Every structure is written in C-alpha cells, then in structure tokens.
Chain A
C-alpha cells in the first residue's frame, strides 16, 4: 500500500513546502504541495486554508462561548469505512492492551491520590491514549521519548514496567527514579525515556539533543546504521513557547531525526488554546520552519499510527523532522488538583463519545480482528498488572536517609574538599545522608 503522504500544509497557496530547491535531493517526494493525498488520514482537508471553518476558528475570540462550538464543529469527523485493514490482529491487540493499560493505570493513580498514597501534582492522561499508543508502540527500544509532566502513559507505552512507575509515584525507592523524581519526572535509561519535565517547553531542547546525538553517532562516530529517532511530546500551550520555535528551527536546519508531537487538547489548565494563540492551527508552524506540518485526529489511534509511521520513517531515513498536531482531549482536569469547572460539559461529552479505546474496540469487532472474550481477557490482565503494581509499590520501602546525597553529582567529588583535607564524599556521614555538604 502506498505510504501516506503529507498533503500540503502551506500557510499560503503560493508557498511551496520546500523552503529551497536545494532540498529536493530527497529521493522520496513525499510532500508534494500540489498533491492532495487521497490516503492521508488526517483532517487537514477540513482545516485547509480555503475552508470556511478556518475563519470560524480565527474569529472565535470575538464571540462569547462560540470557541467551543466552533471547535466541535470543525473537529467532528464521521468515521470512514476503511477498505484496507490498517493493522494486523497482533498489532490491534498490542494497541488495545497499551491503551487499556494507560487508562487503567491513570484511573488507579486517581484512586491512590485520593487515598493519600501519592502527593503533589499528578497529571492524568485519560482520553489521550491514542497519541501515546499510536506513536510509541512504533518505536524501537533505542529510540527516545521526551515528555512533559503528563508522562505516566508515555513511560508505560515505551516499556517502563507499571510497577516502576507506580512505585515512583508513591515515592518509594524501587521507583524508576528511586523516588527522587515523582509524577512529573519519569526517566528510564533502559527504555530511553528522557523525562518527565515540569516546565513546559524545557524538554523539547533535550529531545533535540537526543536527536542530535543520533545524527552525530551516524556521521561523526561512524555508526552508519544508527537511526535512532526521538519523539518529543508536548501540549498546545507549549506551542506558543520560544523553546518550541527555536527547536523547530534547529531540527529542520540540521535535519535531526525527531518528531515533534503536539498533543493539542485545547486547554492549558484553564486557558483555552483559542484564547492564547494568534493562529490556532499549530501544524502550520511546521512549514514556516521548513518541515512538514501534519494535523491528525488524536482520538483515533489508527489514524495517529499511520501519520506516526510516516513521520518516524522519515526521520529514520535522515530526511529530518516532522511536526504532528494531534487533536485530542483530556477527560479529566489538568491535574488532580484542578476542579475542571471551566470546560463546557457539552464539549466534554462530545469528546467522551469519541473515546479512543471504544473506537478501537469497535474497529476490531467490525473487522473481525478480535472477539469480545479476547478483549475482556486483556482488560482482566491489565487489571491484574495494575493491582500488582500498587501492591508492589505499597510494599516497597521508602528511601533511606542515606539516599539523600547520592545522585546529586555523577562524580561525588563535586561536593568538594572539606576542611580536613578529605573529599566530602569520603566522610562516613555522607553515605548516611547526614553529612554537611
């Protein structure tokens, strides 16, 4: 089947996607501005420049409450009957299991939070599972993922065990970061999860650096087969941040193997995307920097997966970055501390009806990819996994005082030389955590 091509994502009818002719050494003419792809699954045709719906979006600010109406009108899509199956049975079951894991885990987090097992800021991913599953299940272990504070499910999709994530949330020493990171700082060296960042936008340069490493390995260190890709996940609010734009520029400039994934859930805590952004169509910002910008329905895991395949393959081939805007929605508030009173119940209901898990389930049934029993078995299995994770986390020990001063420096001589002439890290009190450094 022909690879999905990214249709024109030009800001204006006369601007070609290629910024200079020099880039047409690309073998695969994937982004031909003149070709509107029939197999492309994103909704860019609806949001194309000449569409009347676009004008509604941009005028949203002037009409009270109509932003929500405009959004739901634009975003509503009828599910198309898909002629070729996009996934095999195994793939389908893998996707389903991953999304169920994400959902069950986050629901359990909410329970545990209200029971006082975890504290602080906890940001749940309910509703956005299609984005994480759609992208990350396509990655290899050596590929990297960078996320924000809403990172539990990205870590789980990448392969970090549920036990490790739950323990981390409980602040136990068996957590993936030894309890030192918490909800917003999930890291895994083994699975190449590079965080977990509390400030929005600050993970994007780190992701750019990981992509730079990949290119460096190939071109300077001579590892010609190094084609590791990095996926950077962040939200609509971040798309107005300077670091986003600076990294789009650098990634496109040096053709770094990175995919910028915008999880546009329309709300940055209580700030509607339409109230914060002069041009709310984030995908358009890609071509401004010389990379394809793609918009995709983020509530549909199969569509996300198709776009993701293309973007990741593009990066692997060395053709550079892609900006993917996934239109999605979070069913819960921004965090467990957010009363979520600002969003219109009609909007929430609209998206609840487009639950990605239900959609995939329906697809699998309709196309005879799985039976009710098989899916139920998966759900049961995941329930057990999550229960086990909680049990494990509960039984795990809290960090000892001796852990306090470890890991501040990779080389603990960085604590310096004490008055007695010895390195501070040699002080026995250092390993007890009571040394004065």
Chain B
C-alpha cells in the first residue's frame, strides 16, 4: 500500500502545477474579439437562447448550471484541504446528519481506506457503521443493496474501481433494476464509489475506466468528481439521492489542494460545471483530463484561442442544457476523456450531441480518448495511452482552422 501513496505523491507533482489553481481566475480571463479568430465562419447566435434562459429560472432552480458550482467569492475564509479530505468531510457530514448512512468496503474501517477517504471514521462511528468487509465484491455490493432496500443508505467502496467488475452482476441486475422490477416498491439509495483511471504505472488491471462499462445500465446515475470542491458536493449529493449513484474518483487526483467554503453546500448531480467560459471551441471533459485540458488551454490562450471548457461531471445523464448552450455559442466541439475509444463516454456524448445539436455544429465532433489498449506498465507507453496536452492543442488548432 505504501508504494501507492508514493506513486500518487510523485504523480501529483506533475499535475499540481496546473491544479492548485483558483477557479475564479479562469472566469476572469479576457475574451478575444471575434476578429482575432482564425476561423472564417460567421457566428450565428441562436435566437432562442435568452428566452430559454429566462424560462429556466421559473423551473427547478438548480437546472441552470454554472453559477452555483464554483466556490463563491470568499464571504467567509473557507479552509484548504486535499481532495480525499474533502471526500471524507462530505462523508462525515452526511454520516453525522443521518444515522442510516454507513460505509462498507475493503479496508475502510481500521485501515482508514486505502486512499484515506474513510480515515478516522471507524473510530468515531464504530465497526458496524464503517464496515470492513472480506474480499467479496459481488457479495458485499449485494449486501449493500439489500441493506438499502431495507432502509439503510450504504456507501460501497471499491478499493479500486476495477474491482467492481466483480460486482457487475449486483450493480447491473440489482442496483439498476430492482426499483423498476419491484414496481417502485423498493428504492436503492446506494453510493458506489472508488478510485479509477490511469495512475502512475499501476499496470493494466489497476488502471481501468469503468464509466463505459456501467453507462448502459438503466436506473443508475454516474458522476465523476475532479476538484475538492465538487468532490465534497457530489459526495453529499450522491448520499442524499434516492437513486443509486456511482461516484468515480481518480487515483491521481486525491492530493489536489483547494480552498473550499466552510458553510455546507451540496451540488447538483445532474449538472455540468463551467470551468472556463470561452468563444471559439467547446471542450467537454471530466475527471483527470480536465487538468490536461486546462494545461492545454494555457497554451491555446497564448496562441490566441479562446476555448470554453466544461467539466461534464454527470456522466449519466448528460447535462445537455449546459453542453447545448455552449455548442450554440461556439459551434465546435472537442471531447477529451480518459475513457476508452470504443463505446466510451465520449462515444455516447458524440451521439447525444449529434442527435440534439447537429444544426449548430460547424464541423464534426472530435473525440480524444485513450487508446483501446490495456494500460501498459512502462511509463512511456502509459503516457501514450492517455490524451496529453499537446494532442489537445493540436486538435483545437485543427478544429478551428
């Protein structure tokens, strides 16, 4: 286990230069004027956008994304913490709030979680509420589902998301389906969470991206967190939701540091997050690739581009409102994801965008995904399986031509 922590330490050093940022900075970025754009097409504003915007205000208040999702201007000082601590804070607040919330997983109790997300919780809440399970993913996931059906609100941790492949039977058949096949009698308010994604030379089986495998399961929601702020907010939202939610964390993002508000906040599970508004191209991303995109964005800004970066956060369902508004503005879409090329989140997103916003697109959607390759151990090969910032820059340049 110690080696994993060292790996993360080393890895975050590489990522941290672009990550210990203040999210406000990107919102205040100056916008390039239209004449400086290298593209030659004419921007046509969708006439309906303002009308739709005002109607949305009357509806479910959280349906409109963006403003609520970035840390508000400091009314109170807030506190700085790392992403795994933010997850723990969210978890602890919810456990404090509702005694039915419990955690189960391997090494979550006495060990404190292999990524320290549940550290200290077993001491505080006891061995039954923070349950160390034997190594039986399918069965303890099913146990969590049975507990949820009978009134508890368990959080099931997969030590690594890849291990949840063993629980696929329970996640697909029971988690996703039981509310429906029981005619709505039983609800399954579980949260299934764990780290996934390509780490630092963890080998193929520990570097899996299961978003693509789970996305077809009807009846579940999937979210991916990427910053301490949204990690805590999404964790709380997922726990409070009556739906089964799969929360994807990333092995390399656990040590991100950010200042988050002191006051309690819960984010919306179905909304996307506007990371950097722009005019030229919409870049849709999630989880770790957000940081590669932001790194590329720096280069792009220096080259005169104005990318709009959206962290889609909700992998299932997609927030087509935020995404759509962006496309209506920029007319160019680039998807950057860590998922596999075949049948991945990007593939679904491409289909959804083509279906809904085809008229607004000036060029085919470009989707940058990981290679369809079992992640190699060698560092150089591993680097080439995931999307790197230079590729993103090149893709934007290509798109905007």
Contact = CB atoms under 8 A, between A and B. Distances in A.
Contacts of B134: 246, 249-250, 253
Contacts of A194: 146, 149-150, 186
A209 B156 CA distance: 12
Given A202-B142, A216-B147, A421-B56, A410 B181 contact: no
A208 B183 contact: no
Interface string B172-188: 01100011111111111
Contacts of B56: 420-422
Contacts of A202: 142, 169-170, 173-174
A219 interface: yes
Contacts of B148: 209
Interface string B205-244: 0000000000000110100000000000000000001110
B144 interface: yes
A423 B243 contact: no
Interface residues of B, number: 68
Nearest to B272: A417
Given A185-B181, A220-B102, 10 more contacts: A178-B183, A181-B182, A187-B186, A205-B143, A246-B139, A408-B218, A411-B243, A416-B314, A418-B321, A420-B52
Interface stretch (B16-24, B28-36, B125-133, B390-398): B125-133
9 contacts: A187-B186, A202-B169, A209-B146, A209-B147, A209-B148, A409-B179, A416-B270, A416-B318, A421-B321
B109 interface: no
Interface stretch (B58-66, B71-79, B250-258): B58-66
A415 B180 CA distance: 14
Given A221-B99, A250-B140, A199 B169 contact: yes
Interface string B185-215: 1111100000000000000000000000000
B138 A189 contact: no
Contacts of B126: 220
A231 interface: no
Given A202-B174, A409-B243, A243 B147 contact: no
Interface in A246-264: 246-247, 249-250, 253-254
Given A220-B129, A417-B317, A419-B324, A187 B185 contact: yes
A235 interface: no
A217 B128 CA distance: 10
Contact of B185 (A189, A199, A250): A189
Contacts of B321: 417-421
A206 B357 contact: no
B185 to A, nearest CB: 4
Interface string A250-287: 10011000000000000000000000000000000000
B283 to A, nearest CB: 19
Contacts of B60: 413, 422-423, 426
A4 to B, nearest CB: 29
B347 to A, nearest CB: 17
Interface string A201-229: 01011111111111111011100000000
Contacts of B269: 413-414
Contacts of A213: 146-147, 150-152
Instruction: Choose among B126, B321, B357 the residue with the greatest number of A CB atoms under 10 Å from its CB.
Output: B321
A333 interface: no
A176 interface: yes
Contacts of B317: 414-417, 424, 437
Interface in B282-320: 314, 316-320
Interface in A173-206: 175-182, 185, 187-189, 194-199, 202, 204-206
Given A250-B139, A415-B317, A416-B319, A210 B150 contact: yes
A205 B181 contact: no
A24 interface: no
A387 interface: no
A205 B242 contact: no
Contacts of A178: 183-184
Nearest to A189: B185
Contacts of A426: 59-60
A172 B147 CA distance: 29
B369 interface: no
B182 A207 contact: no
Contacts of A424: 317
A250 B133 contact: yes
